[in-house]
Structure 1
Amino acid sequence: MKTQIKKVLILGSSLLMLSLLTGCDFTDYKTRIQRENDINNPTGNKKSCLRVGKVYEDMYPYTIQYIEGEIDPDDAWDKIAANNELNLKLSLYAKEGLFTEELVGHDGDKPLYRYNLTDEGRKYVDWWGGTNFCFGRVVVEKIIDVDNQLKGMRMVTFTYHLENVPNWIKNKDIYSLYPNYSEIEPAVTGSRPALGSHYYNIKSDGRLKLIRAESGNYLL
């Protein structure tokens, strides 16, 4: 009997040590991942950020411009294409109430519009690399898989839904401009749980260090 008790105590101590080494209950990734998302997104309004363009805070009010020339389809950073897309995004977000839009003149026969953030737009704006609009909070539903196949790394896959989803992200004219939108579409529409992943480095003492979370990503 004493031997059995001793074995149970040893097993319990081993599990406790494993828990300490990994930095959390080894089986309770749901709690850990929820906490990590909330740390990355303390306002609950920054799961994903959609890039508008390279218009910085001190550039507002911003008047659009037109760039003449032909678009190079082989250049992913073509300035003419980027400018055309910026003008389109400003117009679409204005229709959703995130910008004011004022006709201030013409460039030849092309209208020149001036844009400024509205109070509604300021609720969502983020200035990383220009103007971005952010939204959403991840709510973890279920752990799907724990994968240790990558050397020194662990990937935990889970399903989640979103809170704090504004109506403007549901506008097809807007979200169709973002190629990676399909990754979050189920969570935005609420049609089904979305898939997410957290990636960790496994440190020499066995603890996990988060290197990539679901919250805080940018769709360009």
Structure 2
Amino acid sequence: MFTILLTGCDSANIKRQLQENHDKLNPNGDRGICLYLGDLKNYPYTTKYMEKNEYNERMFYGNDRFKKRLAGFSEIGMFTREKVAEEYGEDIYRYDLTDLGTKYLKSNNFCFGRVTVTGVNKLDVVTDSIGRTTKMVRFQFEIENVPVWVTTNLPIIAQLYGEGVQRILTKNEGSSLMRFIKVESGWSMQEGVIIQYGYY
């Protein structure tokens, strides 16, 4: 890996490229920021009891995190929630998308807004394990079109994704790391800003 010192011209070119790629991936301005929900893409969904043991620790924590996110987003109004059973002392719930949830669910994320790139800090060029040249760009951004369900439920979102995410959404600005992979036609940006576990 090596770090490239950015001149004003370099920074402006990368900033322009980042913005063009963000807008290409998000032409309607409604999926600049995505809060990762879980692997499930079809609803209604009924939660599952899972007992932790030495063989399923990763699955157990994934299931637990998913149930907490379902419960949190039901408080926000993205899901209906109905208790349907009890297993080993744990309540089992059935969740279904509301109209609000349906509007903002994109694949397995709740997405919103448009990212506006405001600056570029750092550019690292690396070669990955299969020989691809990759640019890692650290940049600042602002968020436009943040919906009311986000701004009025920041404490719940912070519980689910961390206080760092809350600070970003409170100020409507933050920084992120973007990966570009070298392809025949140029550089391909891999994804927008997706929040999984609150790490930025």
Output the amino acid matched with 2:187.
K
**Does the 8 A contact of 2:47 with 2:67 survive in 1?**
yes
Shift of 1:104: 2.6
CA distance in 2, matches of 1:55, 1:203: 31
| 1:81 equivalent in alignment to 2:61 | yes
Structure 2 counterpart of 1:104, from 80, 84, 92: 84
CA distance in 1, matches of 2:140, 2:146: 17
**Does the 8 A contact of 1:155 with 1:200 survive in 2?**
yes
Report the 3-state secondary structure (helix = DSSP H, G, I; strand = E; otherwise coil) of the residue aligned with 1:53.
coil
**Does the 8 A contact of 1:94 with 1:100 survive in 2?**
yes
Structure 2: which 5+ runs fail to align?
1-8, 128-132
- The two structures have a TM-score, normalised by structure 1, of 0.65
**Pairs aligned (count):** 181
Structure 2 counterpart of 1:66, from 23, 28, 49: 49
For residues 96 and 149 of structure 1, do their structure 2 counterparts lie closer, same or farther at Cα, with a shift above 3 Å needed? closer
Report the 3-state secondary structure (helix = DSSP H, G, I; strand = E; otherwise coil) of the residue aligned with 1:30.
helix
Shift of 1:99: 0.2
Map 1:33-72; keep pairs closer than 5 Å.
Answer: 33-57=18-42, 60-67=43-50, 69-70=51-52, 72=54
Output the amino acid matched with 1:70.
K
**Does the 8 A contact of 1:48 with 1:217 survive in 2?**
yes
Give per-residue Cα distances to partners, 1:118-140, cap 9 Å, x unaligned: 1100111122xxx3212231111
**Does the 8 A contact of 1:66 with 1:84 survive in 2?**
no
For residues 171 and 75 of structure 1, do their structure 2 counterparts lie closer, same or farther at Cα, with a shift above 3 Å needed? farther
| 1:177 equivalent in alignment to 2:157 | no
**Does the 8 A contact of 2:21 with 2:189 survive in 1?**
no
Which residue of structure 2 aligns with residue 161 of structure 1? 142
Structure 1: which 5+ runs fail to align?
1-24
CA distance in 2, matches of 1:88, 1:198: 28
Report the 3-state secondary structure (helix = DSSP H, G, I; strand = E; otherwise coil) of the residue aligned with 2:37.
strand
| 1:95 equivalent in alignment to 2:75 | yes
CA distance in 2, matches of 1:43, 1:144: 27
Report the 3-state secondary structure (helix = DSSP H, G, I; strand = E; otherwise coil) of the residue aligned with 1:217.
strand
- The two structures have a TM-score, normalised by structure 2, of 0.70
Q: How much is the aligned-residue C-alpha RMSD, in angstroms?
A: 3.3
Structure 2 counterpart of 1:31, from 8, 11, 16: 16
The percent of aligned pairs where both chains have the same amino acid is 27
Shift of 1:54: 3.2
Structure ID, larger Rg: 1
Shift of 1:93: 0.5
